[in-house]
């Protein structure tokens, strides 16, 4: 258990940040799922539009430190390739 005031404050901050970061990750996943569902439906226009909306969200996740740069690069690459093959 935290004894020092600094450690107690750190616990409060960590829980607040975890909630914010969880919401960000959930939002990014929703954008990715829209792209994947459009790809599965075979709708190239909808998939391209969803991908265009998802890319800045994913990049924002990297900028905020929620996701690793290489993880987002890999996901963007795979999504882009899936949309291109439609």
Total count of domains within the chain:
1
- Across the range 57-82, mean pLDDT stands at 97
Whether pLDDT at 1 is above 80: no
State the Cα torsion 41-47-49-55 to the nearest 10°: 140
CATH label of the domain that carries residue 76? 1.20.58.110
Distance CA 47, CA 53 (A): 10
Q: DSSP letter string over 61-76?
A: HHHTTSS-HHHHHHHH
pTM recorded for the entire structure? 0.87
Distance CA 60, CA 67 (A): 9
- What is the reported pLDDT for 24? 97
- Across the range 16-41, mean pLDDT stands at 97
* Segments forming the whole domain that contains residue 62: 5-84
């Amino acid at each position: 258990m935290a004894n020092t005031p600094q450690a107690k404050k750190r616990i409060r901050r960590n829980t607040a940040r975890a909630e914010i970061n969880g919401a960000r990750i959930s939002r990014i996943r929703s954008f990715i799922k829209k792209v994947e569902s459009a790809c599965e439906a075979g709708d190239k226009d909808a998939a391209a539009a969803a991908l265009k909306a998802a890319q800045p969200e994913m990049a924002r996740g990297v900028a905020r430190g929620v996701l690793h740069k290489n993880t987002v690069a890999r996901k963007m690459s795979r999504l882009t390739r899936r949309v291109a093959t439609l």
